[in-house]
Structure 1
């Protein structure tokens, strides 16, 4: 057996959270995209990068590696689900004011084709289909390097009121 290893480094997420204080969701996504706020550890672990952030829409790329493989020789569906959860959540976050958060209520994922290293860099897009003050609805898709859709998702996300607000 040939062993492989991967070293992962990240910035303390508490430092990034402090840097993000006072930013709207869109401002935060743009700061992450521009590198003025470091990515969260999960983005590093999943080899994903935020490349576009607009109101109600984000795009991430992901370079899957062998470390994402399952025993069948394909990229584990959990990586794709994580990527989809990320893009729908971040798209929702772009619609929120400073201090307002969100959490996933549910996500439904459709896996349409297997992903391998030969699939190349993945592009995941998340879009808000219905913004809201209590629940946000969003959808996502992942395409491989050839442009083929490999997975889709629909999700609902609960809006978390800012601390100290009357609805908190």
Structure 2
């Protein structure tokens, strides 16, 4: 019989940050996450997501796959890949936005190239904007292992929202 395991997820409620979030540009918002002056979004604690670098139109982050992300065949579920890639694409777009402007993912296409398991260890996602438009932006991303092998790629379209959510 398999050994039961558990995982506890800790995060801070984003409600306090939401009130002032859209007073900053997207790049300022993401840099505040990097330097720790703003709490990371709750999804980060689910997948061990951390920012490594942020510049306009370009982000690098890491994620930590573990057994709690496994699918029935014993590898990391495709939802983990998709979540990391959606985060990388979305944050790359986010980094280009002026204050008061938000975005949401309209669509994402993910290509799974190699499996990820808990033994893969920390993976690195790189996201970059390929075209910034007034009402939509386009981005691409990839996930690599510690040896630089590409594990998955994505392309995404994000809707630009001229007034941030909850304003």
Task: Identify the TM-score tier after normalising by the shorter chain.
Answer: over 0.9
Alpha-carbon distance in 2 for matches of 1:46, 1:61: 9
Q: Is the 8 A contact 2:34 2:51 kept in 1?
A: yes
Q: Can you give the 5+ residue segments of structure 2 that lack an aligned partner in the other structure?
A: none
Cα deviation code 1:83-134 (max 9, x no counterpart): 0000100000110011100011111000000001221210001000001111
Q: What's the TM-score, normalizing by structure 1?
A: 0.94
Equivalent residue, structure 1, for 2:116: 115
Equivalent residue, structure 1, for 2:16: 15
Q: What's the TM-score, normalizing by structure 2?
A: 0.94
Equivalent residue, structure 2, for 1:42: 43
Cα RMSD over matched residues? 1.0
The alignment status of 1:158 with 2:159, answered yes or no, reads: yes
Alpha-carbon distance in 1 for matches of 2:109, 2:22: 31
Per the TM alignment, residue 19 of structure 1 is displaced from its structure 2 partner at its CA by 4.4
Cα deviation code 1:129-162 (max 9, x no counterpart): 0011111010000001111000000011110012
The alignment status of 1:5 with 2:18, answered yes or no, reads: no
Equivalent residue, structure 2, for 1:166: none
Alpha-carbon distance in 2 for matches of 1:56, 1:92: 6
Q: Can you give the 5+ residue segments of structure 1 that lack an aligned partner in the other structure?
A: 164-168
Per the TM alignment, residue 26 of structure 1 is displaced from its structure 2 partner at its CA by 0.2
